[in-house]
Amino acid sequence: MVQLQNDLETIGATGTQVVAISYDPVATLRKFAEEKGITYTLLSDAGSKTIDAYGIRNKEVAGHRLMDGVPYPGTYLLDKDGVVRAKFFLERYQERHSNAELIEAARALP
């Protein structure tokens, strides 16, 4: 999330807006945003309903009260009409795609 903030201006120049969703509660996200200088929208999916609706819950880390609801790390690129045009997912929540990959994909959107 910090990595995205570092390239927010370049990402925005592609016509793309960054929004992150997490299973963390609002208060946790607010504190994180303040501490790390995150200025884009952070959404709380505290019950992991959206994570489950997209079928991206990592069941290998489920069952631990602090980790239950963790999604596979992923990024969706949507067009201006809200249609998903690209998906980037990894196996471990500690990993992320590079901003360069995401920026290139965003530039290629119709």
* Domains of the chain, residue spans: 2-102
DSSP, residue by residue, 55-106: T-B-GGGTTSTTTTTPBPPEEEEE-TTS-EEEEEE-SSTT----HHHHHHHH
**What CATH homologous superfamily does 2-102 map to?**
Glutaredoxin (3.40.30.10)
Q: For 45-64, what is each residue's pLDDT tens digit?
A: 988 898 888 888 877 776 66
Q: What is the pLDDT of residue 103?
A: 87
Q: 């963790």: which residue's tokens?
A: 70
Q: 């927010």: which residue's tokens?
A: 8
Instruction: State yes or no: pLDDT of 38 exceeds 70.
Output: yes
Please give the average per-residue pLDDT across 83-105, as a whole number.
78
Q: What is the pTM of this model?
A: 0.75
